[in-house]
A and B are shown apart, each in its own frame.
Chain A
Amino acid sequence: MNVGSPAQPETTPSLAKPRQNMSAGQVALWLLRGRTLIVLVVLIIVFSLISGDYLTQSNIISMTKHVSVNAILAIGVTFVIITGGIDLSVGSIAGLASMVAGFLLFRGLPMFGGSLWFSVGLVILLALGVGAGVGAVNGIIVTRFGVAPFIATLGMLYVARGFAQIMSNGGTFPNLAGTAARGNQGFHILGVDSWLGLPVSVWIMFVVAVIAIVVTTRTPFGRRVFAVGGNERAAILSGISTGRILISVYVISGALAALAGMLLTSELAAAYPDTATTYELNAIAAAVLGGTSLSGGRGTIIGTVMGAFVIGFLSDGLVLIGVSTFWQSVVKGAVIILAVVTEQAQQRLQKNLASRAQAA
């Protein structure tokens, strides 16, 4: 648990005495665990002091909307990273899904000399299916052919982006509004509309996050994801079919990438093949910032979401106060490195406290 309350060890009478001496360490550990939240709060305070426009309702909502795309990508990637893998292809999958949706809405599926048109709901499902399918291919390459996840998904980064370009021969599908006659209106709902004062994409992020939290913490599948990442051999000997788990996390990552791609496309009301280029890096950064360990076995969804908020609120804040894009890049990179440094400090402190508790 990175951001939530630290696990409460059951106190035994013998632990009561040394506890007093350790309180400084415990407090430090607690602060380190909550660092993403603390950083977020500090960011908001600093930027709102510099610029009066930062903490306005409309700015917060628009920043959160930006965050939602990256958060959804990052949640998917988090599943993969917890298993000890990595998914570099999510940005390209988002682009491919965007083009699939655009193609189906703008051109329709060519058939019998004419075009077959699908409703928006069906288009979304098909695009999600393409994302999940590409993820499944990633998973199969990793598990069946034993290719390192970094290489497999790096390859897929190019392949999926290539297919995205092939779909329109490099061009853009400019109008996704659909017509009443074709029964495919309403794609704008995803990225443009609001519900109860919040953008639909924020609601989607919220629902995805809640489901992902429940899956990771409360379901057998989620726990197996952690077990496979923590120690694959132990997982196998516990009767877990690790191949199935691994393929599943890439499927989740691919499907969520497709969802993120469609949010972007809907907002722009146009599908172009470069959608979400390099977004995989922001997603990985959010996961790492949120305390997900690249070596696997550790991480939380809430941390990842928080990480996405930090990245989004930081970028938008820097834009708002007029920092040049070059310096934005420097700051963002420094924050990511700092996050990993503090993660290491947390691990060390945790180990120290644990060994002291054991000596007790």
Chain B
Amino acid sequence: MTAAVLDETTDDAVDDVILIADGISKNYGGVHALSDVNFSAHRGKVNVLVGENGAGKSTLMKILSGSEQPTSGHILLNGTAVELSSPRVAQAHGIGIIHQELSLFENLSIAENMFAGREISRAHSWVDFAAENRRTAEVLERLGLNVKPTTLVADLPIGQQQLVEIGKALLEDVKILIMDEPTSALSNHEVDVLFSVMADLRKLNVTIIYISHKLDEFRRIGDYVTVFRDGRLVATEKMANTDTAWIVRQMVGRDPNSLFSRAEGTPGDLILEVRNLTAPGAVRPVVRNVSFNVRAGEVVGIYGLMGAGRTELMECLIGSRATIGGEVVINGKATKATVRSRMKAGLALVPEDRQRDGLVQAQSVMDNIVLSILDRLSRGGLLGSASQTRTAREQVDSLKIKIAGLRAEVTSLSGGNQQKVVLARALLTHPKLLLLDEPTRGIDVGAKSQIATIMADLARSGYGVLFISSELAEVMAMADRVLVMAKGTITAELAASEVTEEALVAASASDTILEELE
């Protein structure tokens, strides 16, 4: 399937090791973030690191890239001990890191971004743009990007921006490249491009350390896989000697088949009827003529690529995006297109971007949970602190949210627990239909499984659930019915029994069919 497989020899010969983390421990206060980790990175290979959030991967990467110092243990580079006292020192040793979030200046050109903070200057005063553009062009060519160095970063699609970020690391004559979840914002096609660049880098003998949550992705590209759990390195294996089930078992310490569960109930009454919903967009309608139903007790998945209009559809349903046509009927009643009336009618949305749309960051866990039902918790105009505490406590217990205390700031929680806080707030409004936009994005496998269980439980107790997912395995395992979207319309509707990966991928990419229709 990929170069990774072709490169593998059938015997278990161990490749040359470029970097060894020897007995690394890292304590924060009395907390052991890493305990006696012995990690080896193989030269010219893709070394994949997996593990649930908080397992210690990121801490190790911070140590390897010089932004954190280990409490004990040392690092060997090409057999000699090195002290990576700062990111600059690590860079000087040829270790580069690409963070999960892009750190580009959208208002500057590609070349200016690449040389930001280390401009090539003439006479120590003037920026040598010609030299910058020339070297940038070289890097872009290496990355297979056919764009001018003077192009504004803002004009690039997000996938190409990610490549520019990688290009920044390449400028440094990087020998070891650490990539922290670089694909979380990429479409399937862009992931392919990224992977072919990684394969090229591998040919150039660059060592890649790759952190990812996406099982199906890193199995394609990885040569070695290392699993972390609770601050310990639990297993390292050649990718070819593993299977998905093995990796998941190492990560969570239990059987993967129990990961996702499905309600398997018999659908009840119609809750939601969407008829010919259309929302305007800049170029073409972002949602066009969408019609579908959801029944009580049903879990319906929406699959599609990025930009297919899934999030926009959710926004139309909850009433936060203006529509130019169509009807949303909830429990047999037509509804006004405002958030308040839709919520009153029984919808609740758990948005995709928790930081931007979900959490009130300066506030506590409790404040965030009860935000949607303040009226219900107040008596004579005043909020009762006992009733708030009780309500929040019930949600924390029933959703198993891990917190230091109800008054802890919500930003101190891990991604999965933040997601559950937003979910708790939505559930408190007693919705009949829950809208979940990428409910498992950016959270670890254990939390994903819990969210899936919660969704199935909700369906069993009579809720309708409509969720968006970009992961094939997830949507196939969790949904009773799958709607596939492409270019703003629904291109396929598949029952659980007839869902296949091929059908989903084909329907999500059916550009040509749509073009013919136009």
A residues sitting closer than 8 Å to B (CB atoms) are 7-12, 15, 17-18, 21-22, 214, 218-220, 223-224, 226-227, 230-231, 233-241, 293, 297-298, 350, 354-360
Contact = CB atoms under 8 A, between A and B. Distances in A.
A22 B358 contact: no
Interface stretch (B139-147, B262-270, B363-371): B363-371
A357 B29 CA distance: 9
Interface in B294-349: 318, 320, 339-340, 343-344, 349
B449 interface: no
Interface in B366-396: 367, 371-372, 374-375, 377-378, 381-383
Interface of B: 28-31, 33, 318, 320, 339-340, 343-344, 349, 351, 356-364, 367, 371-372, 374-375, 377-378, 381-383, 404-409, 411-414, 425, 429
Given A10-B407, A237-B320, A356-B28, 7 more contacts: A10-B406, A220-B378, A223-B383, A227-B360, A231-B357, A236-B320, A358-B404
B372 A238 contact: yes
Contacts of A7: 364, 407
B382 A218 contact: yes
Contacts of B382: 214, 218-219
Nearest to A228: B360
A223 B28 contact: no
B369 to A, nearest CB: 10
A358 B412 contact: yes
Interface centre among B371, B374, B405 (most CB of A within 10 A): B371
Contact of A227 (B371, B406, B408): B371
Main secondary structure of the interface of A (DSSP, over half): helix
Nearest to A222: B383
Given A218-B382, A237-B349, A238-B425, A354 B357 contact: no
A293 B361 CA distance: 13
Contact of B339 (A10, A219, A237, A358): A237
Contacts of B378: 219-220
Contacts of B414: 358
A218 to B, nearest CB: 5
A8 B407 contact: yes
Nearest to B407: A7
Contacts of B360: 226-227, 230-231, 234-235, 297
A73 B132 CA distance: 55
Contacts of B381: 219-220
B374 A297 contact: no
Contacts of B349: 237
Contacts of A356: 28-29, 31
Nearest to A295: B362
Nearest to B411: A354
Given A8-B407, A223-B383, A237 B31 contact: no
A165 B30 CA distance: 66
Nearest to A242: B339
Nearest to A347: B362
Contacts of B31: 18, 356, 359-360
B381 to A, nearest CB: 6
Nearest to A241: B340
Given A237-B349, A297-B360, A22 B29 contact: yes
Main secondary structure of the interface of B (DSSP, over half): mixed
B363 A297 contact: yes
A33 B226 CA distance: 44
Nearest to A6: B407
Nearest to B422: A234
B35 to A, nearest CB: 13
18 contacts: A7-B364, A9-B408, A10-B404, A10-B407, A219-B382, A220-B374, A231-B360, A234-B357, A234-B359, A234-B371, A239-B340, A293-B362, A297-B360, A354-B408, A356-B29, A356-B31, A358-B413, A359-B28
A236 B362 CA distance: 17
What 3 A-B pairs come out closest when comparing CB atoms? A10-B405, A220-B374, A230-B360
Contacts of A234: 357-360, 371
Contacts of B364: 7
A292 to B, nearest CB: 12
Nearest to B59: A359
Contacts of A15: 404
Contacts of A10: 404-407
A22 B404 CA distance: 15
Contacts of A298: 362
Contact of B404 (A9, A226, A236, A241): A9
Contacts of B344: 239
A80 to B, nearest CB: 17
Contact of A233 (B29, B33, B357, B407): B357
Contacts of B408: 9, 354, 357
A237 B407 contact: no
A224 B367 CA distance: 10
Given A219-B378, A223-B371, A231-B359, A21 B340 contact: no
A355 B358 contact: no
Contacts of A11: 405
A227 B361 CA distance: 9
A341 to B, nearest CB: 19
A8 B349 CA distance: 32
A359 B339 contact: no
A307 B59 CA distance: 41
A300 to B, nearest CB: 12
A9 B407 contact: yes
B92 to A, nearest CB: 28
Nearest to A82: B362
Interface centre among A223, A236, A238 (most CB of B within 10 A): A238
Given A10-B406, A354-B409, A237 B361 contact: no
Given A214-B382, A218-B383, A239 B407 contact: no
B362 A237 contact: no
A231 B361 contact: yes
B339 A239 contact: yes
Contact of B383 (A220, A227, A358): A220
Nearest to A299: B362
A170 to B, nearest CB: 44
B28 A230 contact: no
A242 to B, nearest CB: 10
Nearest to A350: B409
Nearest to B410: A230
Given A223-B367, A238-B372, A239-B339, A21 B357 contact: no
